[in-house]
Amino acid sequence: MTALDPDFVIGSNLTLVCLAYSHLLAQYTWSFSGVTTWEGQTLFMPSLSRAHSGVYTCKASNSLSGLHSSMDTIITVSETLPQPNVTASNLAPVEHVDSISLHCLPPRSTVAIRRDVNGQKLFIGGHRELSLDCRTLTLSNITRNDTGVYQCESWNSATSSISNPTLIKVTYGPDPPMVNPPDPEVTAGAALTLSCFADSNPPAQYHWEMDRRPGPATQHLVISEVTLDQ
């Protein structure tokens, strides 16, 4: 017996398919909680309610042999879909070095899965590839632009459920540093502050040199009084 949509919430549809191998075509009957109510290989019930929770039994019979077999499945109808969960192969991949996979793991399979990054629907293409069942997102040759909060959403015709956020922080840099002001003109005796910045994750560490001589390890270099030999 196969449930084409195993996640059931109030208002969703139920489809059960029963298959039994038989020399002659089998006849199928369905019962719910012990009461026979339907005939046919496929059972379809629209707009489920809590009253539809229970044991569904498919009975396959062969009128020529007089033999039959049956199988039960338990259906639970809840108010909401179970919350999915996102797992990542690497939460801190290195730019232009690593590729990562993010997996959406609903407690049970769902009709469809959507993926979001930073609250926006994720564009698929280029280095972003989504599996056919929408459960696995692969980011190849990852870049700093892939940094963000990733979530997956499972949904069906009645409702949806979204995962907790998973933060991917791409490791990159440091980029070539920039000094501000770039070409200062300072008179002797005046004060001077130079700031250095290089985009990097994690944040860069800074060291200054003057005429190849090591200086302080700080992002902002403060010279209280400039001399001619500086």
CATH of domain 7-78: 2.60.40.10
Q: How many CB atoms lie within 10 A of CB 20?
A: 19
Choose the weakest-confidence range: 99-113, 166-180, 184-198: 99-113
pLDDT of residue 114: 61
Single pTM value for the model: 0.64
7-78 and 85-168, same CATH topology: yes
Distance CA 223, CA 187 (A): 12
CB 66 within 8 A of CB 43: no
pLDDT digits (tens, 9 = 90+) for 128-169: 998 888 889 999 999 999 999 999 888 766 677 888 999 999
Q: Phi, psi at residue 176, to the nearest 5°?
A: -55, 130
Question: pLDDT tier at 116 (50, 70, 90 boundaries)?
Answer: low
Task: Give the start-to-end residue ranges of the domains of the chain.
Answer: 7-78, 85-168, 178-223
| Helix, strand, coil percent values for the chain (each to nearest 5) | 5, 45, 55
Predicted confidence at residue 226, as pLDDT, reads 78
Mean pLDDT of 198-222: 92
Domain 85-168 in CATH 2.40.30.10? The answer is no
- pLDDT surpassing 50 at residue 111: no
Which residue has better confidence, 183 or 73? 73
Mean pLDDT of 2-6: 52
Span 95-120, mean pLDDT?
76
Across 31-42, average pLDDT: 87
> Which residue did the predictor score with more confidence, 181 or 81?
181
pLDDT tens per residue, range 63-103:
777 788 888 888 888 777 778 899 999 999 999 999 999 99
How far apart are the C-alpha atoms of 152 and 165, rounded to whole Å?
9
| Arithmetic mean of pLDDT, 9-28 | 83
Q: What is the residue-averaged pLDDT of the chain?
A: 85
Q: For residue 227, name the pLDDT band (cuts at 50, 70, 90).
A: confident
